Structure 1
Amino acid sequence: MKLEIRNVTKTYKEKIAVNNFSMELQSGECVGLIGPNGAGKSTIIKVISDIINANSGEVLLNGNKISQMKREIGYLPQYPNFFNWMTAKETLAFMGELSGIPKEELVKSIPEILIKVGLKGEENSKVGTFSGGMKQRLGIAQALLHKPSFIVMDEPVSALDPIGRREVLNLIEEIKKDTTILLSTHILSDAEELCERFVVIKNGTKIEDTTITELLNRNSENKINVEITDKDQPWIEVIKKLPYVQEVEVIGYKIKINVDNIKNNKNMLLKNALDHEVDIVKFDINNDTLEDIFLTLVV
C-alpha cells in the first residue's frame, strides 16, 4: 500500500486551511500528523478520506485517485456520531450496509471486530449508555469493519478522560501491528508513544517530516548535567581543561557541561569524575524533549 498526497491546497473563502501539502505513507507505518489546533490537520484528514475536495492537488492510493479507493480507507472522526438508541451490533450493521458489505459477511465480522476493540459482551448494549472511551472504540470498530488498507484517525483521544484515553491508546497500539495508520493529534505524548514518524504542520504548511530519533538528535545540545558536593568544587577547574569540553556553566553545585560529542564524551567525563573520586549526586543528559522541539517549531 502507498498513499501519496501531492501538492494539496484547500481554502475556505479567503482563508488557506492547507497550503501545497505533500507527503507519502507506506504500508505498515504509523505516522503522526501533529500541529497546534487550527493548523489544518482535520482538513487534511478529510481530504485524504474523500470527505471534502481539495481546491488543487491530488491524493492517490496505490496510484489511483482516492475517490476510487474509498473501500480501502477506514476513517475515525474526532467525535464519532452514533444513534444513541441503537445497540453496538445494530450500529455496526448499519455502518456496514452503508459501506456495501453483504449482510452475511457482517453476521460473521461484527462479533469478531467487537472482540478486537474490547467490546465483547456489549453487542446488545445501547450506544447511549457507553462511556467516551467505549464510543471511541466503537468508532474504531466501524473504521475497521470493511478491512481497509489503512485507517485515518482524527484526534482519537483528545476528548477522552484519562481512563478512556489509555484504553484507546492501548487499542491503537494493538491495531498498528497489522494496519497502516495516519494519526492526527496535538497531544505530543500520544504521538511519541504510538508513531515512528512525524509530519509537523503549521498554518496549513508542512514544516517537518522526520522520525522522532532524527528530530531529537538534531536538537540535542550535547550538554551533560552534573551535580556534585561542596568538597568536589576544585574538580570544576579540571573539567574546564579537558580537550573535549567546550563550555562549563556553574550554578551552585550544579554544572552544565557542553561537550564535543555526547555519545563519546559522556563516559569519558564520568570516568574522569570517578578517577578524581568526585561524589556525584546527579549525572544526566540535557536533551530537548519532543514538546520543547515542537514549541520551537510552531510558536
Structure 2
Amino acid sequence: MKLLTAQRIGRRYGQTIALGEASFSIGDRRCIALLGPNGAGKTTTLSILAGLLEPTSGEMLAEGGLPADRRRWMGFLPQQPAFFGWMTGRETMETAGRLCGLSAKEASNRTKILLEQAGLTDAADRRVGGYSGGMKQRLGLAQAVIHRPRLLLLDEPVSALDPIGRREVLTMLEQWKRDMSIVLSTHVLHDAEQVCDDIILMNKGSVVLQGEMDHIRQSAGRPYIRIETEAGDNASEWLATLEKLPGVRMSATSRYSRSIETDDIDGVRETALRTALEGGIKLLAFEVARKSLEQWFVEALNE
C-alpha cells in the first residue's frame, strides 16, 4: 500500500531550479534511501515532504485515509537538529510529546522508552547544551518519533555518529520500520544497503532512478570474477584463454590480471580454477563479486 505520492513536485528560487518536477511514491512500512550527490535536491525534497517548503509546482497526495495535514502523522529530523540548551533531555522529549498532543502520562512513558532506545537514559536529566553532537543526533531521532508517526523523514541521520553510534541507530531504524515508513537521505551507501528496502536516486534536482533495493542489486550488472597471477608467459596465455570460455560476456584486461563478467559464474569459476591448477598457474587473487551499490551509484549518475 502507498502512503504518500509525489506528482511532479518542483521548487524554484527565481530562475534557479532546486527541484525539477520529481515524481515518486512512498510505500507503507518501507525504508527508502534518498541518494544523490551534494546539490541533487535531497534536502529540498525532504523539506517539501515535511511541509516546511511549499512546492512551486506539482502536488503531494496522502493515501490510505490519512489527514491532509501531514504534521499529525509525520516526524522529521533535519541534518543539524537544534534544541534549547538549558532543557534536559527528558524535558525536551516530554515537551515535544505534549506539543504533539500526548497526555502528560503518555509523554512521560514514551520519553522513558525512547531515551532508552537512543542510549540516553543516563543523560536524561543532563542539560542538552552539554550533549555531544552524536548524543544530540540520537535525541533528535527519539524526539521525531515521540508521537508514533506513520512517516519519518531523516536528513543525514548518522552523519555525526561514530561507528558504534551509527550501528545503534541502524538497529533502531530496523525496529521502527515495522510500524512506520522511513525516508532517509544519506551518503553512507553501506548503511543504505543494510537498512533500506527501496532507493530513490536524485541528481541535479531530478529523480534519476527509483526501485526496490533487491531488484536494483540484481539488475546492476552480471557477477564478475577478478583474477590476478604472478608474472610469466604461461600465466598471460592462460588468462587469454579465459576470455573464450562459454558464458563470458566482457573482460577488462591487463597483462597479468582479468576482470571477467559472466552469465555462468559457477561454470567459469570451476573451469578457471581447474585449468589454473592443471597449468601450474600461481594465483595472487581470485575474487567472485557483484557490483557494489557505490559502483552502481557512480555509473548511474554518469549515464
TM-score interval, normalised by the smaller of the two chains? 0.7 to 0.9
Q: 1:32-66: per-residue Cα shift (whole Å, max 9, x none)? A: 00111111111111111112211122222225676
The alpha-carbon deviation at position 241 of structure 1 amounts to 4.5
> Match of 2:295?
292
After TM superposition, the structure 1 = structure 2 runs for residues 110-125 of structure 1, keeping only pairs within 5 Å, are 110-125=111-126
> Match of 1:265?
268
**Normalised TM-score (structure 2):** 0.86
Alignment coverage as a number of residue pairs? 299
Pick closer, same or farther for the CA change 1:26–1:243 going to 2, 3 Å: closer
Q: 1:78-118: per-residue Cα shift (whole Å, max 9, x none)? A: 11110010001111122122222222321322212212222
Question: For the Cα contact (< 8 Å) 2:229–2:282, is it kept in 1?
Answer: yes
Q: Does 1:135 align with 2:101?
A: no
Partner of 2:55, secondary structure, is coil
> Match of 1:95?
96
Structure 2 residue runs without a partner (length 5+): none
The alpha-carbon deviation at position 123 of structure 1 amounts to 1.9
Q: In structure 2, how many angstroms separate the alpha carbons of the residues matched to 1:26 and 1:13? A: 33
Q: In structure 2, how many angstroms separate the alpha carbons of the residues matched to 1:264 and 1:24? A: 40
Q: In structure 2, how many angstroms separate the alpha carbons of the residues matched to 1:243 and 1:163? A: 46
Pick closer, same or farther for the CA change 1:90–1:225 going to 2, 3 Å: same
Question: For the Cα contact (< 8 Å) 1:132–1:164, is it kept in 2?
Answer: no
Q: Structure 2 counterpart of 1:225, which letter? A: R
Q: Structure 2 counterpart of 1:254, which letter? A: S
After TM superposition, the structure 1 = structure 2 runs for residues 32-181 of structure 1, keeping only pairs within 5 Å, are 32-63=33-64, 67-181=68-182
Q: Does 1:256 align with 2:256?
A: no
Residue identity over aligned pairs, in percent, reads 35
Q: In structure 1, how many angstroms separate the alpha carbons of the residues matched to 2:270 and 2:197? A: 28
Q: 1:118-161: per-residue Cα shift (whole Å, max 9, x none)? A: 22232211111111111111111111110111211111122445
> Match of 2:198?
197
Q: In structure 1, how many angstroms separate the alpha carbons of the residues matched to 2:249 and 2:66? A: 54
Q: In structure 2, how many angstroms separate the alpha carbons of the residues matched to 1:202 and 1:248? A: 30
Structure 1 residue runs without a partner (length 5+): none
Q: In structure 2, how many angstroms separate the alpha carbons of the residues matched to 1:146 and 1:288? A: 40
Deviation larger for 96-105 or 245-254: 245-254
The alpha-carbon deviation at position 228 of structure 1 amounts to 3.2
Q: In structure 1, how many angstroms separate the alpha carbons of the residues matched to 2:254 and 2:219? A: 26
Q: In structure 1, how many angstroms separate the alpha carbons of the residues matched to 2:148 and 2:289? A: 44
Question: For the Cα contact (< 8 Å) 2:75–2:151, is it kept in 1?
Answer: yes
Q: 1:196-217: per-residue Cα shift (whole Å, max 9, x none)? A: 2210011111001023443344
Pick closer, same or farther for the CA change 1:292–1:282 going to 2, 3 Å: same
**Normalised TM-score (structure 1):** 0.87
Q: Structure 1 counterpart of 2:245, which letter? A: L
Q: Structure 1 counterpart of 2:269, which letter? A: K
The alpha-carbon deviation at position 282 of structure 1 amounts to 2.0
The alpha-carbon deviation at position 177 of structure 1 amounts to 4.1
After TM superposition, the structure 1 = structure 2 runs for residues 200-279 of structure 1, keeping only pairs within 5 Å, are 200-220=201-221, 222-229=223-230, 230=232, 232-233=234-235, 234-236=237-239, 238-246=241-249, 251-262=254-265, 265-274=268-277, 278-279=281-282
The alpha-carbon deviation at position 191 of structure 1 amounts to 1.7
Q: In structure 1, how many angstroms separate the alpha carbons of the residues matched to 2:250 and 2:110? A: 63
Pick closer, same or farther for the CA change 1:295–1:239 going to 2, 3 Å: closer
Report the aligned-residue RMSD.
Answer: 2.7
Q: Structure 1 counterpart of 2:204, which letter? A: N
> Match of 1:18?
19
Pick closer, same or farther for the CA change 1:111–1:256 going to 2, 3 Å: closer
Q: Structure 2 counterpart of 1:182, which letter? A: V
